[in-house]
Amino acid sequence: MIRSIAVPVLPGVSPFELGVLCDVFGIDRSEQGLPTYDFRVCGMRPGEPLPTKTGFDLVPKYGFDAMDDADVIAMSAGTVRHEYPEELLVAMRAGVERGALVISMCSGAFALGAAGLLDGRACTTHWMYADDLQRAYPKTRVDPDVLYVCDGPVWTSAGTAAGIDLCLHLVRERQGTAVARAIARRMVMPPQRSGGQKQYIETPIPLRGSPTLEPLLTWMVAHLDQQMTVPLLAERAHMSARTFARRFQAETGTTPHDWMTAQRVLLARQLLEGSDLTVDAISVRAGFGNAAALRHHFGIRVGTTPQAYRETFRVSQRSA
């Protein structure tokens, strides 16, 4: 059961992620028969204006001591810091020790890491920050591909809208599917999204930085619909197959097959977003040969199906 949610905010807080927490937990929906929550936005100095990331101030009503008995402590996203207020870190650690749930939205995971709450746990954050989070807190295991991670009493979400997924999952786990669906309906959101962060990551085709193989890589990208074997590619590069495989690994950091597969998936993504070709036609154009092979590799590398990806990103283009 969730009764109270405390949301600590710092200068540079991101309004969207804070707004997600406000929308899910801070709005009185009792007229629908839905639960209400004791919702507390907490600052170091309650009553004093605090600057957000987008040029306006907010005024927290509560101090950090309002976290002391909250069922959920939700760290919103904001400016990533090298240091966080000790009072905040102590309150989050104490929350876990007394059985509260501590969650983070997007870059809020860095505050959880500073409190030591990610040590030995899996977590996530926005894919743009994933490497930085892993370097800053090497005892954690950062998964940049998922929308959220629940590891014991510490839950983390990926970027921006993934915070909605985490909040609805929390409601679903603690108060049931019916409550989560009703809140999602009010927010005009699906109660549970499929796929993960991988479908939102822009994957460039690396052509530069390969002094020996750059002409061949350029040719490969232009002919992804053709069948390519290591012997044929080696012959085109005027090398033995063994030398070619070794040089390819050294210059690209991966194998020829893995590199080609990644570029074929990227081409398929571009065609799904920007063309009306069928999935079967795209599978041929991208060099997979058939839709089953495309779905297999697409699922592994993007974390969703080609059709679901198209529905998401074609809609985004039309409404942009």
Residues in the chain: 320
Is 123 noted as a catalytic residue in this protein? no
Secondary structure of the chain: what % helix, strand, coil (to 5)? 50, 10, 40
User: What secondary structure letter does DSSP report for 8?
Assistant: E
Cβ atoms of 128 and 150 closer than 8 Å: no
The one-letter amino acid code at 261 reads T
Residue 176's closest CA among 3, 2, 16, 5? 2
Distance CA 164, CA 147 (A): 10
Residue 8's closest CA among 80, 62, 71? 62
* Helices 15-25 and 162-175, axial angle in degrees (round to 10): 20
Residues 6+ apart with CB under 8 A from 243: 234
Indicate which residue of 42, 106, 150, 167 is catalytic. Answer: 106
Cβ atoms of 179 and 171 closer than 8 Å: yes
User: What secondary structure letter does DSSP report for 52?
Assistant: B
SS3 150: strand
Distance CA 10, CA 69 (A): 20
**Facing residues of 74 across strands?**
103
Residue 308's closest CA among 203, 195, 200? 195
Cβ atoms of 144 and 127 closer than 8 Å: yes
Q: Which residues belong to the active site?
A: 106
